[in-house]
Structure 1
Amino acid sequence: MSTLQLSLAIIGGLLLAGIVAYNTWTSRRNAPKRAVPQEAERGTAGSGAAPDRLAEPALRQDPGFDGGGAVELTPGELQALDRGTDPLSEHAVDPTEALQMPVPSFSVERRPGLDPLIDVIAPLQPEHVVSGDAALSALPPTRRAGSKPFAIEGLNEATQQWETPAPGQRYQSFQAGVQLANRMGALNEIEFSEFVVKVQAFADAINAAPDFPDMLQEVARARELDQFASDHDAQLAFMLRARQAAWSPGYIQQNAGRLGFVAGAMPGRLVLPATSAAGLPPLLTLGFDTAAALADDPDQSAIRDITL
């Protein structure tokens, strides 16, 4: 073999090795990000590492100055600069002590979930005071009448406020309601009849007498409300796109779960439930491709954008 042939063979081998290495690096870089195993996540948390390292690196950008003339100060000088020349600086709180101070608690105003403007409400008057445990055991298994949200509230004997039945409480009266309209349309006669059946079963269980409104009048009111809502409906949505590597469904669920999101009723949908009261719609909805969520191997499903 001549020197030329040997040189060409070496160059060809190096070129082939470079192509293989480049393709391997590109495949690993563009592979969908997967969820971190729970064991590794617990180990990272136990070692005191910052949880931000598990997040998308492209989404984090620390602030900084471009100039290189930074001056290092001692903790005492930083504290002096923080206090400034304020005459009341002797009453300033040390930052380390401020982190240990208790957070003030804010009382959340409790409002009933049912509203006569958007709900069909049927009062229920029991023969005697009903305990919360008895009311909970008599509640219907589902919270929907057709496609409309359905709820039952009780008037707390102690607080005199309408609330979802809770164990250990006593209620002197109840009210059941179903939403007149939502994005699935207006309340129809079939859904109203299903509402009546569920409320009647609950009333029989607690020995209460329900008072149902007129069906035709409520259905007409539902159509009017649906028409008004259709003319004034608005939704605010954000599109989040991956900057570099795509995301897998598990990666999205793991990072969204840290913020309080839970799986929704449909594949590819996560919801942030309302914490102020039970039965309220979710605060936020996060959605991605349904086909990716139902894939045989979700870790190989590439998701490049999600809707919030």
Structure 2
Amino acid sequence: MQKTMTDLQLGSLIAGGAIVAAVYAFNWWQEHRYRKQAQRAFAQNQPDVLLETQKNMVRPAASGQRLEPMIEPVAQPVVAERREPQLDVPQVDLDDDVADFDDIDAAEPQIAPVAKQVELQDVEVLATSQLDPSLDFIADVHAGESIPAAEVPQFPAAKRVMVLGLTDAGQWEVVNSRSTGRYTALRAGVQLADRQGSLTQEQLNAFCMLVQQFADEHEAVVTFPQRSGKLSAAKELDEFCASVDVLIGMNVMAKGKPFPMEKVRLFADQTGLARGGDGLYHYRSESGKALFSLVNQDQTPFGNTSEGLTFLFDVPRVAGGLPVFDHLSEIAQQLANLLAGDLVDDSGRPLAPGSIANIRRQLTNIYAQMDDRGIAPGSMAALRLFA
């Protein structure tokens, strides 16, 4: 009887051990499967181009780089709408990139693939530069399965929103209504501040809700920056922008008889001021961006005559600001002399050489503040913030 009980106990122990081993093996298999899914969803082996690429929106303050050329001799004007905050896409010149391959035999089919790779890299850098952690609140969405572009919304918000997608080929690109790719990860960013003020808590919460809803619908994982910290950064950024947001006006006022606009038109043609689709005159850079504008002083459309004319200079949106201001001052004085008018500021005070020199010193201070902040006047960052 004692031996029978021992055999039974031994059998029970063996059976129990087998069950425990089976449960352990099943748990290990589930954990391994989950780990593989998580690795695919978060794609840790993918390079984070947005974080690894040097910021394009805000240049280093010491580099002295400008995205706008300085004032140049009068050229054929480019007609475009006034004060549109559009960003010029730099044209890619591949000559320098393939110069090192000149010694390779012409029969070697290597230059074209290299050039193509360089072009793809430039496109990716341009795409990732559209979001900047210092200017945007950026949500990261990681999908286990790739999401078609047609299912990616633009997440409408009160501020500028940009969406980037990581393609199956591992390239970041801007996602818009014309996109046709599929994405394993997305970045959706809403701008922290613009000329309408800083991003509010209500606006931020609404944006996060839209992104979270999208992620839930696609069984994706979304991560957000710390909201309170970003809201504080948005207010501080808005305060800085307000401190340097200056619009300079130089007015040429008639002393009695109104100015004949035909005379003004001829002067504009001679000095490179081109009339745009908005009916105003603009002095433009070689790339076609308005450096300063000429408008009717009473803000009405131009007619046959004018009681006063105003030159407008949007300080933070123009690169090479001091030379531009010098050229503007010269042209304004020339027009005042031609029309026998008075050159005055917005308060009606005469703009003598000493007054213009004082304004120039103030501009130097503003540009120094922007450089210290790392936001170059006329840069893509400035065009976004002062829009």
The normalised TM-score by structure 1 is 0.42
The normalised TM-score by structure 2 is 0.35
